[in-house]
């Protein structure tokens, strides 16, 4: 793949360097923030080599798939740095061209641009969407570490069980084990850091605030004076840094970023650098211990209770609902908002012991899509659709569902619904066998790598049920040849 050529095309189709506001990458998508979304040529971006799909949201999310997205990001940033801003001659030329328009045309153009921009902003700028996207922005940069640390913990556990702990005390083995431990032990620091930055504060202050949620015997608040530990006046108990965990760090980082901005707004410039951070940390220390952690503990427990109710009490029905309802979240890019929940579930010190029973249910959504794609491929006579499915199915089987979703099921409508409903059957089976995952970051066949040892056969059985469900439902209820020909043209084999 010529990533230099790809990045050059993307930069032009995104409206040029002056239209780029931010560049980020998650596991499969290049997320580009733009100033004017009307300058973005979405349909042409979809035709760029390597691009699997495009999601229009508050950012332009260009789907490349795992591995490739990092190369795309590096090439794009390199190209961005090499391209200069438009020169005065170009600006003058643009002005002359605009001057040749009639006054009426100019008014119509401005009106339509504002109307389209407002409509797009209203469509993708709902309060809930903005909130969930902020949460995703906090955790997406941490995903590589979360995935790697989770896999290390899972592998270490397997080795310990299979060998009876025979490697215990071996320096290189304990060194690798420490890498898996470190991420989850200090995750509140990274969470506070990113949360403060996302909400406009100083990231380092967020990291310091998050550190108070890390259990460290050297913490002054955990001192033993004589033979007595320090007790909090609010509860009369010894301080527990783990109260509220990840959610406490997230709330504190965001809240005190907002407080910092307020303080800096009124603080004289001459003392701002010294006094503002001092005030934030002093207030934060008292508030997080006395208010935020207790509230966060309630929220954390509530999340576990809800998940346990859906998973345990609702049983097969709960598994079906969770699996069937996941694809719509993926289609609008909101699935990343679930990363903090997966992270809590994969924490070895958490109530599930590091085994995530939610993720395998959601992974069934890819199976439903594969089944829908196969049914469409066999039943349709449209040559172009068959070609698109041939290109999309292999990566779909490997766990990258965006090509099938954005190029096949979602545009057609009915197959997307059938894929969702079909995925639910896989979720029901997954719930029946209580299949768990020890990490996150992969799906499809590759999902076998992160499934709890001993659950692999059950995982495969559930995936087959999801594929079968998507296939059968799409075959009988999701195929509309007229709609297919409208979308892909009347080209038949």
Distance CA 143, CA 69 (A): 14
Which residues, 6+ apart, have CB-to-CB distance to 187 below 8 Å?
142, 246, 249, 343, 347
Evaluated on CA atoms 72, 3, 75, 21, the torsion sign reads negative
CB of 348 within 8 A of CB of 184?
yes
The helix/strand count (H/E) of the chain reads as 23, 6
Look at residues 384, 410, 380, 387 and name the one whose alpha carbon lies nearest to residue 480.
380
Instruction: Measure the CA dihedral 290/291/293/297, to 10°.
Output: 120
DSSP conformation letters of 11-60: HHHTT-GGGEEEEEE-SSEEEEEES-GGG--HHHHHTSTT--EEEESSSE
Q: Is 258 a catalytic residue?
A: no
* Catalytic-role residue among 26, 213, 420, 465: 26
DSSP run (H or E) holding 452 = none
- Does residue 214 contact residue 189 with C-beta atoms inside 8 Å? yes
408 near 376, Cβ under 8 Å?
yes
Burial class (CB in 10 A: 0-12, 13-18, 19+), 72: buried
Radius of gyration of the chain (CA): 26
Question: What is the distance between the alpha carbons of residues 467 and 426, in angstroms, rounded to a whole number?
Answer: 8
Active site positions, annotated: 26
């Amino acid at each position: 793949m010529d990533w230099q050529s790809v990045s050059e095309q993307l930069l032009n189709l995104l409206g040029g360097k002056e239209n780029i506001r931010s560049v980020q990458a998650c596991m499969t998508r290049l997320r580009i923030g733009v100033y004017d979304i009307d300058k973005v040529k979405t349909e042409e971006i979809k035709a760029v080599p390597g691009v699997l799909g495009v999601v229009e949201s508050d950012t332009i999310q260009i789907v490349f798939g795992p591995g490739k997205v990092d190369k795309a990001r590096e090439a794009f940033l390199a190209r961005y740095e090499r391209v200069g801003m438009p020169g005065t001659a170009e600006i003058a030329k643009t002005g002359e061209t605009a001057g040749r328009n009639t006054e009426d045309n100019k008014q119509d153009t401005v009106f339509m641009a504002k109307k389209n921009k407002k409509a797009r902003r209203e469509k993708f700028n709902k309060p809930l969407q903005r909130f969930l996207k902020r949460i995703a922005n906090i955790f997406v940069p941490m995903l590589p570490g979360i995935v790697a640390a989770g896999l290390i913990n899972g592998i270490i556990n397997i080795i310990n069980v299979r060998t009876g702990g025979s490697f215990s005390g071996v320096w290189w083995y304990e060194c690798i084990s420490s890498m898996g431990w470190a991420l989850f032990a200090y995750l509140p620091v990274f969470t506070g850091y990113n949360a403060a930055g996302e909400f406009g504060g100083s990231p380092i202050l967020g990291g310091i605030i998050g550190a108070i949620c890390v259990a460290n015997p050297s913490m002054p608040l955990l001192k033993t004076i004589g033979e007595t530990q320090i007790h909090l006046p609010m509860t009369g108990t010894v301080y527990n840094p783990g109260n509220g965990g990840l959610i406490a760090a997230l709330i504190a980082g965001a809240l005190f970023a907002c407080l910092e901005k307020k303080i800096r707004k009124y603080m004289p410039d001459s003392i701002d650098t010294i006094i503002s951070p001092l005030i934030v940390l002093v207030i934060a220390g008292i508030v997080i211990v006395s208010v935020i952690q207790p509230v966060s503990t309630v929220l954390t427990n509530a999340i576990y209770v809800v998940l346990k109710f859906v998973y345990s009490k609702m049983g097969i029905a709960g598994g079906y609902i969770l699996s069937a309802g996941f694809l719509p979240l993926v289609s609008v890019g909101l699935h990343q908002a679930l990363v903090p929940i997966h992270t809590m579930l994969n924490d070895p010190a958490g109530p599930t012991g590091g085994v995530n029973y939610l993720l395998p249910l959601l992974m069934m959504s890819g199976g439903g899509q594969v089944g829908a794609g196969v049914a469409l491929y066999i039943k349709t006579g449209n040559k172009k659709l068959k070609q698109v499915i041939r290109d999309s199915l292999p990566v779909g089987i490997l766990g990258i569902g965006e090509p099938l979703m954005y190029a096949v099921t979602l545009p057609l409508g009915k197959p997307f619904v059938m894929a969702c409903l079909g995925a639910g059957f896989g979720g029901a089976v997954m719930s029946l066998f209580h299949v768990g995952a020890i990490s996150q970051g992969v799906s499809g066949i590759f999902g076998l790598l992160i499934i709890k040892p001993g659950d692999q056969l059950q995982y495969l059985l559930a995936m087959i049920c999801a594929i079968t469900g998507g296939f059968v439902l799409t075959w009988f209820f999701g195929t509309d040849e007229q709609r297919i020909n409208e979308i892909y043209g009347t080209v038949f084999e």
